[in-house]
């Protein structure tokens, strides 16, 4: 069962997210390609795309390293439990 404070928190977070999207919308649909960043040309798009590629490459690498470490920890704990059971 979900408490009333948790529901109120979720509603507040949802309302703030919707408000943030409404505030950011005019900058996103600015005329002549001039938005929050400035004039958007091929160079800006290319650098953004390279940044996105780099971000996801680093994200996958870091998350894989975390998973490897957690798997090793799980295996060590499993071996300790098996050793204690015997």
- pTM tops 0.85: no
Answer yes or no: are the C-beta atoms of 40 and 33 closer than 8 Å. Answer: yes
pLDDT of 4 higher than 90: no
Q: Which structure tokens are listed for 41?
A: 């040309």
Q: Which structure tokens are listed for 70?
A: 């957690």
31-47 pLDDT, tens digit per residue, is: 666 766 777 788 988 99
């Amino acid at each position: 069962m979900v408490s009333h404070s948790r529901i109120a928190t979720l509603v507040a977070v949802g309302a703030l997210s919707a408000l943030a999207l409404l505030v950011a919308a005019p900058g996103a649909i600015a005329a002549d390609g001039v938005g929050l960043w400035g004039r958007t040309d091929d160079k800006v798009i290319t650098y953004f795309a390279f940044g996105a590629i780099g971000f996801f490459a680093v994200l996958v690498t870091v998350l894989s390293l975390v998973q490897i470490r957690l798997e090793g920890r799980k295996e060590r704990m499993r071996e300790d439990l098996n050793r204690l059971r015997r």
